[in-house]
Amino acid sequence: MAFYEEIKANNRMTFVLFVAFFLLILLLGVVSSYLLEIAYGVDGYVIVILFAIFAIVYMVVAYYNSDKIVTAISFAKPADPKKFKQLHNIVEEMAIASGLPKPKVYVINDTAINAFATGRNPEHSVVCVTTGCIQRLTRPELTAVVAHEMSHIQNSDIKVMTMAATLVGLAVLLSDFMLRFFFRGMIFGRGRGGRSRGGSSDKGGGGITIVLIIVAIALAILTPIIAQIIKMAISRKREYLADASAVQMTRYPGGLASALSKIKNDSEPLEAANKATAHLYIANPLKGQKLWMKSMFATHPPIDDRIAKLNAM
């Protein structure tokens, strides 16, 4: 495997996906302004601008408090340095190997084998593992898992995935906001009486307006779904990149391959995980879920593929 080519390919794909993400949000903003103008007879861009101000505040708060939010909803607790001495030692070793400051170390009291990293940058980062990792993995395997999570920090994946999750939340909020206000405006008679955007009231103009409304509503409904698919695609690419970077850090592909094999054979779901945080973990923590269009909505690439790539190194 060409190690650096793998990294470049993943970075290129992530960039393309983020461009698609922003274009999707931009399109939804334009659609929102159009529907709100029809429903209320006012400049829809004014309402969208007001929402944009709220969205910026929302994104800033989510970005700067991502570590606190994720650890809280995951029921993660700071790892006691004495009780979890080996874990702290491993995290410190990988911090030195990666040239990063040592992140905060957290644990989740659960026998499932899993781990995640979060935070907005290396100085405000967290590495969290389950007690199952500590109890059921060998030291080389646990080191590889920690290296994988440190790689997420080193490669700015924690920032990328925080932004992706925030953008999905923004798409959902904007879509819900727009649909609610549009239907409310039409129901209570604030609409423009079927006129086209240009003000024409003839049958042709009215027919075009109806078609545009249907298309706009469809886009508003589908946008959160498409945004979620893009977020999952970004997550899958970053997992491949973190695997490759972890091997560069530990110089031992077998450690991570062995750990992933144990995770694959572990049928126990992680109780603290949910759909909002599943993409952060080293492997899908929601075991046993049957997803519609599984390959598109999967938070992680197939473990067998990841193990095969590691064994090929």
Query: In Å, what is the CA distance from 140 to each residue of 86, 144, 166, 258?
Result: 12, 6, 34, 9
Q: What share of the chain is helix, strand, coil (3-state, %, to 5)?
A: 70, 5, 25
Neighbouring CB atoms inside 10 A of 184's CB total 12
| 8 Å CB contact between 70 and 277 | yes
Residues catalogued as catalytic: 149
| 8 Å CB contact between 298 and 233 | no
Q: Which two tokens stand for residue 298?
A: 């999967």
Beta bridge mates, 203:
none
Q: Cα separation of 261 and 164, whole Å? A: 28
Three-state SS for 281? strand
In degrees, rounded to 5, the angle at the alpha carbon of residue 111 between the alpha carbons of residues 156 and 104 is 35
Beta bridge mates, 97:
none
Q: Cα separation of 210 and 195, whole Å? A: 9
Write out the E strands in 100-238: 104-108, 115-119, 125-130
